[in-house]
Structure 1
Amino acid sequence: MELSDYIRILRKNWLVIVVLTLLGLGAAAGYSLTRTPIYESASTVFVSTQSGNTAQELQQGSSFAQARINTYVGLTTTPVVLNPVIADLGLARTAEDLAKDVKASAALNSTLITITVSDPDAVQAAKIANAIAASLASAVPQLEPESNSGASAIRLSRVSDAQPALKPSSPNVPLNLALGVLVGLALGIGVAVLRTTLDNRVRTPREAEQITGSPGIGAIAYDTKAKERPLIVHADPLSPRAESFRALRTNLQFLDMGGRSSFVITSSIPSEGKSTTTINLAIALADAGKRVALLDTDLRKPKVAEYLGMEGGAGLTDVLIGRAKVGEVMLPWGGRSLYVLPAGKIPPNPSELLGSRQMNTLLEMLEKDFDVVLCDAPPLLPVTDAAILARVTSGALLIISAGRTTKHQLQGATEALNTVGAKLAGFVMSMVPTRGPDSYYSAYGYGYGYGYGYRETPAKTSKAERKGAKRRGRTTPLASVPAAPTLDELGFDSRRDAREADRES
């Protein structure tokens, strides 16, 4: 993963990170507020020897005291020292219980013993520390062997009395809050990375490129009103979504398909926007002056005629079985150089029809008479129709719904095309968010220019306006536009043969 990926993860999961960080802070604050404040007081005892007047004897005494210092530190928390303290102060505690609140330590090469006592009462902590120091000073001479003079060679003197603490030693509120923030932040980042790792959906072009091995040739902006106006290039040509289709049109022209210009547009699963993408791309190509043939090759659930407001009773199925000629059922649409061949009646054997010799011949003849041939095909995973059809065209364009299609589904669709030897010309990301961390239109060069001349189409139009728009989008008579190519007996173009006859004469 690159730095940009981690930044995208943080941007996408910032709310989770913030929430967990605040929870960590709240937990630390709650813990600190519910703890009983504990105060610490310390008393210091000096250990010395009483025998010897010469320097050598004093040095020996000091060495003896240092050698015994750890023994006296351990003696501090024993009942022999603590029981007198309990009796003197009238504590309702046992020596074992009191020992838990007492700490004794001695610095290296030092004869000073520091006795620290913790207690909820600052005054009581100081009293106990001083009492333990006094008890230790009395207990040690009694335990050590007497010298020749009959007195103990070790003497303990209290050199620093314990004073009541002004502020508690625990809980350490600033430290606890800092730790709570750090733990919450680390947990939030961990959850964000885990969510991204477990997310099996395709969200970026780079993920799609790694799976398909094909280039991304476009991205279609997400539009909340897509269902209300599916033909966005026709209904609102200045919208960001319409601009996405024009960018797709431009990129499509740079694909090297070996001189051919027929494309199967399909997807991995249903409802990824393949039909609306096909139709809008066809309109955008026709607006650029291209002669476009739009075929509804989805012989199971055809949608082209419904979106375009055409009669779809007769169409591709009738042509393939020899019931009708192309010129009779292939009609122009919208006053453009766009000709539409609906699916026709749903046959019982769509895969066989699409893989037939008649379909292959039809595509070859259409490629000669049109600049671009677009075939709206079914999804690849449920049925094999699109894979069969892609084999006899110049290539397939795979529609990938951003954040909806899973990596396994995309991999399965790619394998379906590779299995039949079809070429995947490229993929198109659909329903791409225009905002947020998963928005990447700048990578395609679509982010610039949306503010220039953009006019939002009113959400509501009158009934008369909708009828007028529908009439303008309906099929017009053949006499009012350039004639569509006519194929006689599936593969015979009378107009082209007439031109060839003229050249020979």
Structure 2
Amino acid sequence: MADQRQDIRIEKTEDEIEIDLGRLIWGMWKLLLRFWWAVVLLAAIGAAGFTLYQRLGKTPLYQSSATFTVATGDEDSGSYSFYYDQTTADQLSKTFPYVLESSYFRSMLLDQLGTDELNGTISAETITDSNVVTMRAESPDSQDAADILSAALEIYPETARFVLGEIQFNMLDEMEVPTAPFNQMSVKRSLAFGGAGGAFAALCILGVMALFRRTARDPEEMKRVTSLKCLAMLPHLQVKARKNQGQQRISVLDERTPHGYRESMRSLRLRIGRLAGREGCKVILVTSTAAGEGKSTVAVNLARMLAADGKKVLLADGDLRKPSDADLLGIRGKYDLKDAAEKGKETRAVIRRIKDSGLHFLGSTRKYEKPAAILTDEGLRVFFEEVRQRFSYVILDSPPCEMFQDAGLLAEFADLILYVIRYDTVPQNRIREGLSSLSGRRASFAGYVFNNCPETGGVYGYGRYGYGYGKYGYGKYGYGKYQQKQEEGEAI
């Protein structure tokens, strides 16, 4: 029997990263929905940090400027002419700044200001091929900037007389005393600029995370991880949980569940049935890499589908650390694997039959911190040998295999392993490690299921239907209490 089962090959090598822009954007969007608070936090930090830097990290400088034309000769010789011939314009552009930098001009400026040290700097620039000049004075003090510029404008013609000859300034833009530093933004602009920078940095980080995340998103990508076959791709469903409902209950027996989801589960049931029938397998372990991938929902609905075919099916909740199957079924579980392992407990006493569905159930809501002793009890092995004879199928819902050894221990009681992978959630290297932890056990791998796949525009149009319990008024008609009474059943 074992040689007929599907062999598993777990790839160890890493492929080169291939960038798919559409998937990269989708990955960034998913990360943004998950870590939006980090984007807001970095934007706030950026806004606060940049504003503090503007106010405390930079010395405020004030700038006073004046724009004017320079005319040579007497007062009426083109004093308002903006353009000279090319030779004169070139001479002016080279000479005017040179005069400002001379020691003679500087000494004259200090004498004019009546000080020994200049509290600022002065500069000038000319417009190419013209006699238009802009002179600027910068200083940590606004009044000093205005005084320096005023003194420079007053003494420059006399200082430059020996170089440029007689010159006149004709103001186009009068100087003013500056009221705000030119090298600092306003508080509003600082906050906006810093916030935008922080948000951009956060988006860049999300982009890098999306690029290197390497999650599983389709069977082609899974070929890099394992040779296992994809048995089904279950679509994403929009489920609105009722008040006080701990789990989102999705039932393939409910006609309001989207047709695409039910058809995918039927396909899974047929493939599992053919594989189990061909190999004489009865106990099917359902597990995943990490919590939250939907393996319990898959296990419950696979059991429901098999029972709906008239098979005698037992659903056993093997997750003793965090049991959830009873809640998904809407019943109160009484007995679990611990009770089944006790030699004094008969099989009929611990298994409950759910009315109207034909499904049998073993599980409770009790939690165990250290279930290893229970899962290695010889009485549990005897129990599974008995139920293997009495039931057509035993669906064993296992804990995720990443954190604890529970799944590996339960695999010793199973014949087949069905691995559930949530679309674009767990990195490929973690899936690879999870599969490796189960290889070499008594049970062989049947394949894997892709859960929570997005709408692909196929024939079923998964995304168009949605699935909201609140929309159909379960609370209004008291479905929860009614289901509990009908499904809880009695011991078999």
Q: Equivalents in 2 of 1:25, 1:348: separation in Å?
A: 55
Unaligned runs of 5+ in 1: 49-61, 142-153, 433-438, 479-505
Q: Equivalents in 1 of 2:173, 2:319: separation in Å?
A: 93
Deviation at 1:131, TM superposition (A): 1.5
Q: Equivalents in 1 of 2:376, 2:47: separation in Å?
A: 62
Would you say the 8 A contact 2:51–2:190 is kept in 1? yes
Aligned to 1:397: 419
Q: Evaluate the alpha carbon distance shift between residue 377 and residue 93 of structure 1 in structure 2; reply closer, same or farther with a 3 A threshold.
A: same
Aligned to 1:145: none
Q: Evaluate the alpha carbon distance shift between residue 124 and residue 163 of structure 1 in structure 2; reply closer, same or farther with a 3 A threshold.
A: farther
Q: Equivalents in 2 of 1:276, 1:65: separation in Å?
A: 84
SS in 1 for 2:475: coil
Q: Equivalents in 1 of 2:93, 2:485: separation in Å?
A: 105
Aligned to 1:265: 286
Aligned to 2:160: 137
Deviation at 1:472, TM superposition (A): 1.5
Q: Evaluate the alpha carbon distance shift between residue 249 and residue 235 of structure 1 in structure 2; reply closer, same or farther with a 3 A threshold.
A: closer
Q: Evaluate the alpha carbon distance shift between residue 184 and residue 132 of structure 1 in structure 2; reply closer, same or farther with a 3 A threshold.
A: farther
User: What's the CA shift string for 1:207-256, capped at 9, x where partnerless?
Assistant: 9965855646335656554863658357994776x989746523523647
Quick one: which amino acid aligns to residue 298 of structure 1? G
Structure 2 residue 452 is matched with structure 1 residue 425: no
Deviation at 1:338, TM superposition (A): 1.7
Aligned to 1:128: 151
Q: Equivalents in 1 of 2:291, 2:26: separation in Å?
A: 32
Quick one: which amino acid aligns to residue 473 of structure 1? E
Q: Equivalents in 1 of 2:382, 2:374: separation in Å?
A: 14
Question: Which structure has the higher relative contact order (CA within 8 Å, separation 6+)?
Answer: 2
Q: Evaluate the alpha carbon distance shift between residue 203 and residue 450 of structure 1 in structure 2; reply closer, same or farther with a 3 A threshold.
A: farther
Range with bigger deviation, 260-269 or 243-252: 243-252
Find 1:164's aligned residue among 170, 174, 190: 174
Aligned to 1:82: 106
Aligned to 2:465: 449
Would you say the 8 A contact 1:351–1:385 is kept in 2? no
Range with bigger deviation, 16-25 or 113-122: 16-25
Aligned to 2:299: 278
Q: Equivalents in 1 of 2:468, 2:242: separation in Å?
A: 21
Q: Evaluate the alpha carbon distance shift between residue 69 and residue 399 of structure 1 in structure 2; reply closer, same or farther with a 3 A threshold.
A: closer
SS in 1 for 2:276: coil
Deviation at 1:132, TM superposition (A): 3.6
Q: Equivalents in 1 of 2:205, 2:421: separation in Å?
A: 28
Find 2:63's aligned residue among 18, 29, 38: 38
Structure 2 residue 353 is matched with structure 1 residue 339: no
Q: Equivalents in 2 of 1:202, 1:64: separation in Å?
A: 66
Would you say the 8 A contact 1:417–1:424 is kept in 2? no
Find 1:6's aligned residue among 25, 29, 43: 25
Using structure 1 for the length normalisation, give the TM-score.
0.60
Would you say the 8 A contact 1:294–1:374 is kept in 2? yes
Q: Equivalents in 2 of 1:303, 1:95: separation in Å?
A: 81
SS in 1 for 2:463: coil
Aligned to 1:470: 484
Q: Equivalents in 1 of 2:377, 2:300: separation in Å?
A: 25
Deviation at 1:40, TM superposition (A): 0.8
Deviation at 1:309, TM superposition (A): 3.3
Deviation at 1:41, TM superposition (A): 0.7
Alignment of 1:5-154 (within 5 A): 5-6=24-25, 9=28, 12=33, 38-45=63-70, 70=94, 73-88=97-112, 91-94=113-116, 96-97=118-119, 100=121, 102-105=122-125, 114=133, 116-118=135-137, 120=142, 127-138=150-161, 140=162
Q: Equivalents in 2 of 1:177, 1:23: separation in Å?
A: 15
Would you say the 8 A contact 2:47–2:198 is kept in 1? no
SS in 1 for 2:400: coil
Aligned to 1:232: 249
Aligned to 1:296: 316
Quick one: which amino acid aligns to residue 233 of structure 2? I
Would you say the 8 A contact 1:297–1:376 is kept in 2? yes
Find 1:206's aligned residue among 195, 203, 217: 217
SS in 2 for 1:232: coil
Would you say the 8 A contact 2:265–2:301 is kept in 1? no
Q: Equivalents in 2 of 1:348, 1:30: separation in Å?
A: 60
Quick one: which amino acid aligns to residue 473 of structure 2? E
User: What's the CA shift string for 1:348-374, capped at 9, x where partnerless?
Assistant: 4634759969857964x56xx63x542
Would you say the 8 A contact 1:354–1:385 is kept in 2? no
Q: Evaluate the alpha carbon distance shift between residue 80 and residue 476 of structure 1 in structure 2; reply closer, same or farther with a 3 A threshold.
A: same
- Look at both structures and tell me which one has the larger radius of gyration over its CA atoms: 1
Deviation at 1:67, TM superposition (A): 7.8
Aligned length: 426
SS in 2 for 1:260: helix
User: What's the CA shift string for 1:73-115, capped at 9, x where partnerless?
Assistant: 3232334123334444xx25446445x1x2134677x796946
Using structure 2 for the length normalisation, give the TM-score.
0.61
SS in 2 for 1:259: helix
Aligned to 2:332: 309
Would you say the 8 A contact 2:43–2:199 is kept in 1? yes
Range with bigger deviation, 330-339 or 18-27: 18-27
Q: Equivalents in 2 of 1:315, 1:76: separation in Å?
A: 94
SS in 2 for 1:39: strand
Quick one: which amino acid aligns to residue 108 of structure 2? P
Quick one: which amino acid aligns to residue 136 of structure 2? V
User: What's the CA shift string for 1:288-317, capped at 9, x where partnerless?
Assistant: 545251242628559589554355379994
| Identical aligned residues as a percent | 13
Unaligned runs of 5+ in 2: 1-18, 74-85
Would you say the 8 A contact 2:237–2:466 is kept in 1? no
Find 2:203's aligned residue among 169, 187, 192: 192
Q: Evaluate the alpha carbon distance shift between residue 175 and residue 390 of structure 1 in structure 2; reply closer, same or farther with a 3 A threshold.
A: same
Quick one: which amino acid aligns to residue 130 of structure 1? L
Deviation at 1:155, TM superposition (A): 2.5
